[in-house]
Amino acid sequence: MTRRYIGAKGVELVADVGGDPRAPTIILLHGGGQTRHSWGGAMRQLVLRGYHVINLDARGHGDSQWAADGDYSLEVLAKDLECVIETLKSRPALVGASMGGATALLVAGAHANPVAAALVLVDIVPRIDTGGAAKIRSFMSSGGKGFGTLQEASDAVAAYNPHRPRPKSNAGLMKNLRLRIDGRLYWHWDPRVLQQVRHAEPPLFADRLNSAAEQVRIPTLLVRGLESDIVTEAAVTDFRAHLPQLEVFDVSGAGHMVAGDKNDAFNQGVFEFMQRHLPQDAPAP
């Protein structure tokens, strides 16, 4: 079912919700420039395994409302997430990719009494590689003038992820696009998000997230794509110095978009972690 939440500053947030609400909850948070549909396969499998799942569109993305003031800072994304958590009767696990992971980490480290039961970060660490970050910005900017056809949008995705086999059909890509009155296709997110992305770089980005990491007391997993151009081995070592309980699950053949590149392997790593730290048949924490 589709559910709407009210986030910070009254922004309406849209989510797909599935599973028994009495079961432990997992909140899925997508990356910048994505939508909740990027978690489609993971959500289905989590629900089948007995979890209650909230698959959230971030403000300015997908079907969630665009911010009137253009605020897409990490701080306001964190407040949005806290608004969703406040509607729950128990502490959820947070699973966030890239921007969503940074948001989840900030929230997990912001409270003396944990508001989450477990944390999964998908290909995101505080000290991201600046070259990889620039590549993401370039891709996100590539559709600024829209695409004349679905094939053009597909070509842009293929150029960003050349190692990923192209799907047999481009139809699924329409979930991430909007057809505007000029007849062109645009990514399904507010272009003002890019103004925030430019600020999500070291050292400020790293300092904020490392400070949050030092306050995290819950089980934490980093799912890393071994072909990622965002997360380096040195960055993982640095992160672990701030978050000693960090576990790492490597996914071979996957880049920054781990779940999309190798969904089965990604699911396996997340399910095993959840089974140890938030079993679906255990009382919700």
Q: Are 117 and 285 in contact (CB under 8 A)?
A: yes
Q: Are 93 and 116 in contact (CB under 8 A)?
A: yes
Q: Which residues in the chain are classed under CATH 3.40.50.1820?
A: 2-131+194-277
Q: Are 113 and 180 in contact (CB under 8 A)?
A: no
Cα angle for residues 157, 191, 79 (degrees, 5° grid): 105
219-248 pLDDT tens trace: 999 999 988 889 999 999 999 999 999 999
Q: Are 59 and 72 in contact (CB under 8 A)?
A: yes
DSSP one-letter code for 113:
S
SS3 state at 187 = strand
DSSP state letters, 14-68? EEEEES-TTSPEEEEE--TT--GGGGHHHHHHHHHTT-EEEEEPPTTBTTSPPPT
Cα angle for residues 263, 233, 40 (degrees, 5° grid): 15
Pairing of the two strands 177-179 and 246-251? unpaired
Residue type, 50: G
Q: Are 119 and 93 in contact (CB under 8 A)?
A: yes
Give the pLDDT confidence score for residue 135 in this predicted structure. 83
Domain covering 2-131+194-277: architecture = 3-Layer(aba) Sandwich (3.40)
Q: Average pLDDT of 196-205?
A: 57
- Point out the least confidently predicted range of 57-66, 114-123, 159-168: 159-168
SS3 state at 93 = strand
Give the pLDDT confidence score for residue 139 in this predicted structure. 81
Give the pLDDT confidence score for residue 255 in this predicted structure. 84
Q: Are 233 and 282 in contact (CB under 8 A)?
A: no
